């Protein structure tokens, strides 16, 4: 016998973690993720993180044990000749147990697909409630808001009945997602096809319209942003109506995913538990063997990134696009072989460090040997001086600890063995409203010696399953002899049935929306920024009353048009913004040059955005 749970009336909050492969995805679930997102073997915006259908099937089976979900990133633009291959892939993914697809191309709305949720990717450029509502009405179960979206707009989206997913941690693109064509323009590698060349991470020389240098540095990483960290804003985001909290990082290694997932599991649980009417969206308890700390994993420094809606100067890291890690103290003495620091932290053999010279150049070294605050580098770095601040960007002891098994996830169950007519009934209840029972006919035989302890031990042997014992009892009077084989058989049947009813609930709770054609405002035109690369997508927009005036940048290069639109503003970050009391004047565009790459940044101060255009070489 199994029971169907009474659905909780609490609002479910989801922690969504990235995974580049099956092993990383399982690690994310073990460390507390309620859902994972992962690429299939094609059409993913991270082409270097592809996975075959067999691995996705294995992942879905594992995740569903905990009622965690698996989302597949199918978030590139699609060409006409690829549409049938995409449709066939969706059917295979559905059969493999995927719970939803994260998509960019509107052709998916026009296809005949199996019943699977569609989530509108952040590549759809969802920066306001109007766009979110349009996509929701078109058939998307969920929208992934642009990283730049402030709390006020997130609240508007959720208030309109849209299920909102928002980023909370990880690398930041300088441009609104889906609107960056720099890589295609300069490297013939489309970010909208999963092949970003990261033009934004290069060093640039900045000049004004007269050709004068704006900064003394000849190599400023003017478009390279810090990493997002919204640990301190999770409660505000819950209150605004966000239901899925997303960690970026499908190219990151397992140790990064373990640490960041465990950190946000802890922080998100604190926010959930301090509010009435909320609960996490998956089940189970994760036992973690380390203390999570985002500062000890790859990071370029942290920013909350416009969540308050205000322009900010703390969003960029113009010094380096590499990991800076955490400050660990200053150099107090240097000899020919070693250095002494004032670091309050324990330094370890194999640690890696970054430092910045007075001229703004970065350097680095690794410790060969550490003796307290005295460190012996493998080679003495150039440019380092007494007083230099060190940043540990590779914590060897921490990474070694994360390399092994660092978590286990389990679902506590209550186990009860009871008398039944002509035999016994064993019941497992998981505390989430699910239970399963198994009955066996058996002659009831009094025991000559105490057996209760052995019986409870036999029914409690849940090793090799996702279940753990919260309590176990044998509810009958006196001492009985019950064959161990019978108890084992009942226990295995209960585990199987309980697993089945829990997994079945996952399938029944999916919210597949019917597709429709919401009316766009009269006069709406779709140019190259709508990323239309096939006739099905074109047909969708036309059915919504939108006039299509251009194809995707990758399909039909429109010439010297805007190739990026950014909330980050170079003029503001350098202190020249006229709206915020900037110093001096910086009229006209700012020109950026890195090798053969030449661009100009134009500032739309009314909208508070920076637009980037390519510049032809003379």
Q: What does the block give as tokens for 106?
A: 């509107």
| Model pLDDT for residues 245-290, shown as the tens digit of each residue | 999 999 999 999 999 999 999 999 999 999 999 999 999 999 999 9
Dihedral class, residue 197 (left if φ above 0, else alpha if ψ from -120 to 50, else beta):
alpha
Provide the pLDDT confidence category of residue 428 given band limits of 50, 70 and 90.
very high
Domain annotation covers residue 152: yes
Provide the pLDDT confidence category of residue 163 given band limits of 50, 70 and 90.
very high
Q: Do residues 163 and 274 both lie within one domain? A: yes
Structural domain total, the chain = 4
User: What residue numbers bound the domain in which 418 lies?
Assistant: 407-508
Question: For 7-27, what is the mean pLDDT?
Answer: 91
Q: What is the pLDDT of residue 44?
A: 73
Percent helix / strand / coil, the chain, rounded to 5: 30, 25, 45
Q: What is the DSSP letter of 342?
A: -
| Contact by Cβ (8 Å): 102, 144 | yes
User: What pTM was estimated for this model as a whole?
Assistant: 0.95
Q: What does the block give as tokens for 506?
A: 């996952």
Q: Residue 591: CB partners within 8 Å, gap ≥ 6?
A: 206, 207, 208, 209, 211, 598, 599, 600, 601, 615
Q: Is the pLDDT of residue 313 over 90?
A: no
Phi and psi at residue 308, to the nearest 5°? -85, 0
Tell me how many degrees the CA angle 137-153-561 measures, rounded to the nearest 5: 80
Element (H, E) at 497: helix 484-508
Phi and psi at residue 162, to the nearest 5°? -90, 135
Q: Residue 469: CB partners within 8 Å, gap ≥ 6?
A: 412, 413, 415, 460, 462
Element (H, E) at 163: strand 163-170
| Contact by Cβ (8 Å): 356, 362 | yes
| Model pLDDT for residues 457-488, shown as the tens digit of each residue | 999 999 999 999 999 999 988 899 999 999 99
Average pLDDT, the chain: 94
**Strands (DSSP E) along 336-479, which ranges?**
339-341, 352-356, 362-371, 374-377, 389-394, 407-420, 423-429, 435-441, 445-446, 467-475
Q: Residue 188: CB partners within 8 Å, gap ≥ 6?
A: none
Q: Do residues 242 and 181 both lie within one domain? A: no
The CA distance from 34 to 238, in Å, is: 16
Q: What is the pLDDT of residue 455?
A: 95
| Contact by Cβ (8 Å): 122, 192 | no
Q: Is the pLDDT of residue 48 over 90?
A: no
Q: What is the pLDDT of residue 71?
A: 98
Question: For 310-315, what is the mean pLDDT?
Answer: 79
Provide the pLDDT confidence category of residue 181 given band limits of 50, 70 and 90.
very high
Query: Token pair 């969802």 is at which residue?
Result: 126
Q: Do residues 563 and 433 both lie within one domain? A: no
Domain annotation covers residue 437: yes
The CA distance from 618 to 616, in Å, is: 6
Q: Residue 582: CB partners within 8 Å, gap ≥ 6?
A: 571, 572, 575, 576
Q: What is the pLDDT of residue 1?
A: 43
Q: What is the DSSP letter of 338?
A: -
Q: Do residues 436 and 472 both lie within one domain? A: yes
The CA distance from 167 to 238, in Å, is: 13
Q: Residue 470: CB partners within 8 Å, gap ≥ 6?
A: 412, 413, 414, 431
Domain annotation covers residue 520: no
Q: How far is CA 153 from the centre of its chain?
A: 20
The CATH number covering residue 28 comes to 3.20.20.70
For the beta carbon of residue 346, count every other beta carbon within 10 angstroms: 12
Q: Is the pLDDT of residue 9 over 70?
A: no
The 3-class SS string of 11-44 reads EEEEEEEEECCHHHHHHHHHCCCCEEEEECCCCC
Question: For 590-616, what is the mean pLDDT?
Answer: 95
Terminal-to-terminal C-alpha distance of the chain: 79
Q: What does the block give as tokens for 322?
A: 């590499």
Q: What is the pLDDT of residue 583?
A: 75
Q: Is the pLDDT of residue 456 over 90?
A: yes
Q: Do residues 24 and 147 both lie within one domain? A: yes
Provide the pLDDT confidence category of residue 2 given band limits of 50, 70 and 90.
very low
Q: What does the block give as tokens for 518?
A: 């919401």
| Model pLDDT for residues 517-562, shown as the tens digit of each residue | 999 998 999 999 999 999 999 999 999 999 999 999 999 878 889 9
Domain annotation covers residue 528: no
Q: What is the pLDDT of residue 312?
A: 72
Of 357, 386, 403, which marks where a domain is finished? Answer: 403
| Contact by Cβ (8 Å): 264, 247 | yes
Burial 511-520 (b: 16+ CB within 10 A, else e): eeeebebeeb
Q: Is the pLDDT of residue 58 over 80?
A: yes
Q: How many residues does the chain have?
A: 618
Please tell me whether residue 121 adopts helix, strand or coil conformation.
coil
Q: What is the pLDDT of residue 557?
A: 79
Q: Do residues 338 and 466 both lie within one domain? A: no
Domain annotation covers residue 549: no
Please tell me whether residue 336 adopts helix, strand or coil conformation.
coil
The CATH number covering residue 355 comes to 2.40.10.170
Phi and psi at residue 444, to the nearest 5°? -85, 120
Q: Do residues 208 and 109 both lie within one domain? A: no
| Model pLDDT for residues 491-515, shown as the tens digit of each residue | 999 999 999 999 999 988 888 989 9
Question: For 324-347, what is the mean pLDDT?
Answer: 95
The CA distance from 20 to 198, in Å, is: 19
| Model pLDDT for residues 100-117, shown as the tens digit of each residue | 999 999 999 999 999 999
List of long-range contacts for 601-604, beta carbons under 8 Å, 24+ apart: 601/570, 601/571, 603/569, 603/571
Q: Do residues 191 and 251 both lie within one domain? A: no
Domain annotation covers residue 312: no
| Model pLDDT for residues 113-133, shown as the tens digit of each residue | 999 999 999 999 999 999 999
**Strands (DSSP E) along 402-513, which ranges?**
407-420, 423-429, 435-441, 445-446, 467-475, 480-481
Taking the CA atoms of 108, 109, 113 and 115 in sequence, report the sign of the dihedral they define: positive
Q: Do residues 53 and 112 both lie within one domain? A: yes
Q: Is the pLDDT of residue 599 over 80?
A: yes
Tell me how many degrees the CA angle 328-331-333 measures, rounded to the nearest 5: 150
Domain annotation covers residue 133: yes
Q: Is the pLDDT of residue 7 over 90?
A: no
Q: Is the pLDDT of residue 579 over 90?
A: no
Domain annotation covers residue 388: yes
| Contact by Cβ (8 Å): 262, 268 | no
Q: What is the DSSP letter of 204?
A: B
The CA distance from 400 to 529, in Å, is: 45
Q: What percent of the chain stands above pLDDT 70?
A: 97
Q: What percent of the chain stands above pLDDT 90?
A: 88
Q: Do residues 368 and 481 both lie within one domain? A: no
Q: Do residues 118 and 248 both lie within one domain? A: yes
Q: Do residues 145 and 253 both lie within one domain? A: yes
């Amino acid at each position: 016998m199994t029971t169907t749970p009474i659905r909780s009336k609490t609002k479910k909050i989801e922690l969504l973690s990235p995974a580049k492969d099956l092993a990383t995805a399982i690690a994310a679930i073990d460390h507390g993720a309620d859902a994972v997102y992962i690429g299939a073997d094609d059409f993913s915006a991270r082409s270097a993180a592809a996975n075959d259908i067999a691995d996705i099937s294995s992942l879905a089976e594992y995740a569903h044990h905990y009622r965690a979900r698996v989302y597949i990133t199918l978030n590139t633009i699609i060409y006409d000749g690829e549409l049938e291959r995409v449709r066939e892939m969706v059917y295979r993914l559905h059969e493999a147990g995927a719970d939803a697809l994260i998509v960019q191309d509107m052709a998916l709305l026009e296809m005949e697909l199996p019943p699977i949720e569609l989530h509108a990717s952040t590549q759809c450029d969802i920066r306001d409630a109007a766009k979110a509502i349009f996509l929701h009405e078109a058939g998307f179960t969920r929208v992934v808001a642009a990283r730049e979206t402030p709390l006020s707009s997130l609240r508007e989206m959720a208030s309109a009945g849209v299920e909102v997913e928002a980023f909370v941690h990880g690398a930041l693109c300088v441009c609104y997602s889906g609107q960056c064509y720099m890589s295609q323009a300069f490297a013939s590698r489309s970010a909208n096809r999963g092949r970003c060349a990261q033009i934004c991470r290069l060093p640039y020389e900045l000049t004004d319209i007269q050709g004068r240098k704006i900064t003394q540095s000849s190599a400023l990483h003017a478009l390279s942003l810090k990493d997002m960290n919204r640990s301190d804003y999770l409660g505000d985001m819950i209150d605004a109506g966000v239901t899925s909290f997303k960690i970026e990082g499908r190219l990151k290694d397992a140790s990064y995913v373990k640490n960041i997932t465990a950190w946000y599991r802890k922080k998100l649980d604190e926010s959930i538990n301090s509010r009435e009417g909320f609960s996490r969206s998956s089940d189970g308890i994760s036992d973690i063997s380390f203390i999570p700390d985002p500062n000890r994993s790859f990071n370029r420094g942290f920013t909350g990134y416009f969540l308050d809606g205000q322009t900010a100067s703390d969003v960029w890291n113009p010094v380096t696009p590499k990991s800076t890690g955490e400050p660990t103290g200053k150099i107090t003495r240097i000899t020919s072989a070693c250095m002494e620091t004032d670091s309050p932290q324990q330094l370890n053999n194999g640690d890696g460090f970054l430092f910045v010279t007075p001229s703004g150049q970065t350097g680095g070294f690794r410790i060969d040997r550490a003796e307290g605050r005295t460190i012996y580098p493998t080679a003495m770095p150039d440019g380092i001086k007494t007083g230099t601040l060190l940043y540990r960007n590779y914590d060897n002891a921490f990474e070694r600890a994360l390399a092994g098994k660092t978590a286990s996830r389990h679902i506590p169950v209550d186990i009860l063995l009871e008398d039944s007519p002509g035999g016994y009934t064993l019941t497992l209840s998981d505390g989430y409203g699910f239970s399963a029972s198994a009955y066996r006919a058996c002659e009831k035989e009094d025991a000559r010696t105490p057996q209760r302890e052995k019986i409870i031990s036999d029914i409690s042997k849940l090793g090799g399953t996702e279940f753990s014992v919260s309590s176990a009892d044998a509810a009958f009077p006196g001492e009985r002899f019950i064959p161990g084989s019978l108890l084992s058989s009942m226990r295995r049947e209960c585990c199987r049935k309980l697993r089945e009813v829990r997994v079945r609930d996952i399938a029944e709770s999916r919210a597949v929306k019917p597709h429709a054609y919401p009316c766009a405002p009269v006069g709406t035109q779709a140019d190259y920024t709508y990323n239309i690369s096939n006739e099905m997508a074109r047909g969708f927009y036309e059915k919504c009353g939108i006039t299509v005036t251009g194809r995707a940048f990758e399909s039909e290069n429109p010439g010297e048009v805007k190739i990026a639109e950014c909330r980050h503003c170079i003029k503001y970050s350098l202190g020249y913004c006229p709206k915020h009391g900037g110093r001096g004047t910086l009229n006209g565009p700012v020109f950026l040059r890195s090798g053969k790459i030449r661009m100009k940044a134009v500032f739309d101060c009314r909208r508070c955005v920076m637009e980037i255009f390519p510049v032809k070489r003379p």
